[in-house]
Amino acid sequence: MGRDYQRMVSDAVRITELLCRQPSVSAEQRALDETADLVEELLAGVGFETQQLRAEASAPAVYGERRGRSDFTLLLYNHYDVQPADPLDLWESEPFEPTVRDGKLFARGTSDNKAELAVRLAVLRALLDEEGELPVHVKWIVEGEEEIGSANFDAIVRENAALLRADGALWEGGAARLPDGRPDVALGFKGMLNVRLDVTALATDAHSSLEAIAPSAPWRLVQALASIRDRDGTVRVSGFYDAVVPPTDAERAALAAASDSDEDQLRETLGIDRFDDGLTGAALWERASFRPTSNLAGFHSGYGGPGIKTVLPAAASAWLDFRLVPDQEADAIFELIRAHLEREGFSDVEATKLGAATPAKTPLDDPFVRRVIDVAEAVCGEPASVTPLAAATLPIVASFRDHLGVPGLSAPDNPFYAGSNAHAPNEHIRLEDVEPALRFTYELLRALGSA
């Protein structure tokens, strides 16, 4: 196309490095205000009207907008916060000193998701340089609490719904290129319900001989948990599946086409011979996408050291996360679990809701989805991989749906790949993935402006 993508790449990498020097770890409340100010300055630098939005006690979300040539309003979402860097001793270079090695840029936050923010910014600069205006109206919100669950983001969106109204949204991105070369699009994410169960049976740990006559906290918790889920993984809580909407035939077909060849790689990483029920291929990924989970993230009680300690533990606790699919509602599911425990005679098991996110997806046949996919396929020269519902969770998606009603997706504008070590030591992007991300973003903005 003759456009100066090399300059855009240099721009994007430089902005990524600038952002990644900020240790904006939300879990540690580190450098959040400084990074918000930096992001606001970068947006102001491309002529955005900016402000910082907050809900009570939240880290600031940076908001900016700039009018463009056409009436189409595009809403961009990013987050400037990152995961903690520890364990530090596993990093080969300092996590907050961006370092290029072997064609890769290493730093905490590169792939999740400061490089995507930088790609979008570099494209906006290039468009303004070339044409003096943007092809579409752009609204951009960059929050600072994504890595701790976006707990305040829903309130921010609700309170600023009029400001944020748009015709289409790009969420945090998928991968610019899958291993087979296809661009990666995701239209929805599972919800989440985090529950802690606690049993306190005794005032103090006791001699284990007393188990003959006194209640056992860990046994009560084992039995409460066993009542919640069958051996085959089916949740036994009455009503749990009532709101589940099965995938449409079109979603099934898209998912089958999206299924790539990571299957062997994933089995190897997990060290397993087979997935549950021996599933493979499309059936496996359909299960991963459309089955709500009931994960037991932790269980702790009593002794856990070498040898023997004959103790009757006073207390036991379990940490669960349920990943929900449309149209399961986290709060409603929590009440079903509470009712289940009560009905099954486990009123001694205390349930606490630690977190809740609603599942949400944009329909496969939404016109905005179609336009994004068309651009991605034109730029890439490959059919897109379209995931109707991803197995992971992105709480902001439900906020956008519920308060703005805006169709959105995760687009291939992120120089991320499966080996990026997001959330892990030695997080990085491959420099070769920056240009495809830029090309897609540039062409999408032009296409949306000319429609």
The reply on whether position 55 binds a copy of itself by CB under 8 A is no
The reply on whether position 293 binds a copy of itself by CB under 8 A is yes
> Are 394 and 112 spatial neighbours (Cβ–Cβ below 8 Å)?
no
CB of 111 to a copy of itself, least distance (A): 15
- Nearest CA to 81 among 33, 9, 43, 123? 33
The reply on whether position 202 binds a copy of itself by CB under 8 A is yes
The DSSP annotation for 379-430 comes to: HHSS--EEESSEEEE-THHHHIIIII---EEB-S-S---TTS-TTSTT-EEE
Q: Which is nearer to a copy of itself, 78 or 317 (CB)?
A: 317
By CB under 8 A, what part of segment 353-372 binds a copy of itself?
Answer: 354-355
Angstrom distance (rounded) from CA 353 to CA 335: 10
CB of 25 to a copy of itself, least distance (A): 15
User: Residue 66 pairs with which residues in a beta bridge?
Assistant: 138
CB of 253 to a copy of itself, least distance (A): 20
Q: Which residues of 383-398 are buried (b: 16+ CB within 10 A; e: fewer)?
A: ebbbbbbbbebbbbbb
Contact stretch for a copy of itself (CB under 8 A) within 2-10, 127-135, 304-312, 366-374: 304-312
Among 247, 313, 326, 449, contact with a copy of itself (rule: CB under 8 A) = 313
CB of 210 to a copy of itself, least distance (A): 7
Among 287, 350, 374, 382, contact with a copy of itself (rule: CB under 8 A) = 287
The reply on whether position 264 binds a copy of itself by CB under 8 A is no
Q: Taking the chain, what is the end-to-end CA distance rounded to the nearest angstrom?
A: 20
Q: Can you read off the two tokens belonging to residue 288?
A: 């991963």
The reply on whether position 1 binds a copy of itself by CB under 8 A is no
Angstrom distance (rounded) from CA 49 to CA 194: 38
Among 84, 149, 363, 425, contact with a copy of itself (rule: CB under 8 A) = 149
The reply on whether position 84 binds a copy of itself by CB under 8 A is no
CB of 413 to a copy of itself, least distance (A): 22
The reply on whether position 339 binds a copy of itself by CB under 8 A is no
Q: Which is nearer to a copy of itself, 134 or 192 (CB)?
A: 192
CB atoms under 10 Å from CB of 331, counted, come to 11
- Nearest CA to 416 among 152, 160, 172, 125? 172
The reply on whether position 291 binds a copy of itself by CB under 8 A is yes
Among 1, 308, 365, 381, contact with a copy of itself (rule: CB under 8 A) = 308
CB of 220 to a copy of itself, least distance (A): 9
Q: Is the dihedral of CA 221, 227, 231, 233 positive or negative?
A: negative
Angstrom distance (rounded) from CA 333 to CA 339: 10
Beta strand residue intervals within 308-425, DSSP E? 311-312, 315-324, 350-357, 360-361, 385-387, 390-393, 408-409
Among 44, 210, 256, 451, contact with a copy of itself (rule: CB under 8 A) = 210
The DSSP annotation for 63-127 comes to: EEEE-BSSS-EEEEEEE--B----SGGG-SS-TTS-EEETTEEE-TTIIIIIHHHHHHHHHHHHH
Q: Which is nearer to a copy of itself, 4 or 86 (CB)?
A: 86
CB of 329 to a copy of itself, least distance (A): 19
The reply on whether position 69 binds a copy of itself by CB under 8 A is no
Number of chain positions touching a copy of itself (CB under 8 A): 72
The reply on whether position 6 binds a copy of itself by CB under 8 A is no
Token look-up 């490959």 returns 382
Among 83, 301, 385, 420, contact with a copy of itself (rule: CB under 8 A) = 301
Q: Which is nearer to a copy of itself, 1 or 203 (CB)?
A: 203
Contact stretch for a copy of itself (CB under 8 A) within 7-15, 197-205, 245-253, 373-381: 197-205
Q: Which is nearer to a copy of itself, 295 or 450 (CB)?
A: 295
Pairing mode of beta strands 184-186, 385-387: parallel
The reply on whether position 244 binds a copy of itself by CB under 8 A is no
The reply on whether position 250 binds a copy of itself by CB under 8 A is no
Nearest 10 degrees: Cα torsion 376, 115, 162, 149: 110
By CB under 8 A, what part of segment 152-171 binds a copy of itself?
Answer: none
Angstrom distance (rounded) from CA 189 to CA 261: 21
